């Protein structure tokens, strides 16, 4: 069995072009041509980025009449926030302790006066 | 107006750096002292429930430091680095390396900037530059391991009571 490249949200947002596409489409839904018009690179290259974003669940294509529109799906991004949360919590606890130390230093300074 | 005390972490995807911003209700001299005096450092730098010991701390430009965190189970985590420059009370630049890495050389360059704010407050901005994107993301992931360890330590406490 061939090993398939893993597609996840981290891979999706690691590329600056893909982040720009997300940023554009987050403001308003757009068709493929409108997205490609915002970039210097070739249309097939943009299509490839869009394909990856779709595979990672960050973009959906919706058919409306004869037009096909891209829409963003922000839910998978919470995976990124969840990943960072314990690290943020560790830092928050560290600086909360520093707050306590600083308060103690302020009290000590006052009592010395 | 409520003061902004929340920590802000910025880690752009695919970059080798991260930024931490935090404000303190204390004057800059005091924050800088708490940050660079080893006797004060041991009171807050190590994670909750860990014991911090300082092997050496030579707090000056061209100085160096080494310290050990011991977790509740007795596992030790040792870090060392050199102090590139210490310019009280506004800037501290130092390297940081975890000695438990499988290979040497995963060095981080930390620049801490201390800014005076009105009403005797201070803004701290830390920029950490990593050797690679993988190193940076690994550091962020280590928070998850710590979170788990911390969770287990709490569970131990509950079970023991």
Domains (range + CATH), chain B: 16-160 (3.30.530.20)
Domain that holds residue A96: 77-112
Is A27 part of a structural domain of the chain?
A: yes
Is A106 part of a structural domain of the chain?
A: yes
Provide the CATH number for the domain around residue A42.
1.10.10.10
Cβ of B14 under 8 Å from any chain A Cβ? yes
Based on the domain organization, do A48 and A92 belong to the same domain? no
Is A3 part of a structural domain of the chain?
A: no
- Provide the token pair at B92: 């501290």
* A105·B13 Cβ contact <8 A: no
pLDDT digits (tens, 9 = 90+) for A13-64: 888 899 889 888 888 889 888 999 999 999 999 999 999 999 989 999 888 8
Look at residue B158 in the predicted model and tell me its pLDDT.
Answer: 55
Positive or negative, the Cα torsion across B115, B88, B70, B107? Answer: positive
Cβ of B51 under 8 Å from any chain A Cβ? no
Q: What domain count does chain A have?
A: 2
pLDDT digits (tens, 9 = 90+) for B141-157: 887 666 555 655 555 56
pTM of the model: 0.77
* B144·A14 Cβ contact <8 A: no
Q: How far is CA B140 from CA B10, B13, B35, B36, B72, in A?
A: 11, 12, 22, 24, 22
Based on the domain organization, do A59 and A95 belong to the same domain? no
Based on the domain organization, do A45 and A99 belong to the same domain? no
Cβ atoms within 10 A of the Cβ of B4, count?
Answer: 12
Q: How far is CA B43 from CA A82, B31, B33, B55, in A?
A: 29, 13, 13, 15
Contacts of A92 in chain B (CB under 8 A): 6-7
């Amino acid at each position: 069995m061939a090993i398939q490249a893993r597609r996840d949200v981290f891979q999706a947002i690691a590329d600056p072009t893909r982040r720009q596409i997300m940023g554009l489409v987050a403001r308003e839904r757009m068709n493929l041509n409108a997205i490609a018009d915002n970039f210097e690179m070739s249309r097939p290259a943009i299509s490839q980025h869009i394909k990856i974003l779709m595979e990672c669940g960050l973009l959906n294509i919706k058919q409306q009449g004869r037009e096909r529109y891209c829409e963003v799906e922000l839910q998978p991004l919470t995976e990124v926030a969840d990943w960072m949360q314990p690290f943020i919590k560790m830092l928050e606890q560290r600086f909360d302790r520093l707050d306590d130390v600083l308060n103690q230093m302020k009290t000590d300074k006052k009592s010395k006066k | 107006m409520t003061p902004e005390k929340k920590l802000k972490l910025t880690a752009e995807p695919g970059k080798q750096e991260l930024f931490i911003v935090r404000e303190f209700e204390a004057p800059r001299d005091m924050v800088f002292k708490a940050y660079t005096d080893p006797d004060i450092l041991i009171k807050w730098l190590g994670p909750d429930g860990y014991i911090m010991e300082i092997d050496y701390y030579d707090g000056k430009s061209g100085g160096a430091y080494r310290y050990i965190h011991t977790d509740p189970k007795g596992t030790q985590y040792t870090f060392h680095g050199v102090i590139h420059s210490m310019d009280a009370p506004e800037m501290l630049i130092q390297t940081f390396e975890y000695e438990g890495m499988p290979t040497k050389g995963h060095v981080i360059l930390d620049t801490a900037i201390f800014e005076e704010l009105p009403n005797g407050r201070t803004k701290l901005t830390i920029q950490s530059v990593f050797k690679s994107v993988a190193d940076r993301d690994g550091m962020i992931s280590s928070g998850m391991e710590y979170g788990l360890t911390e969770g287990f330590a709490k569970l131990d406490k509950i079970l023991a009571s």
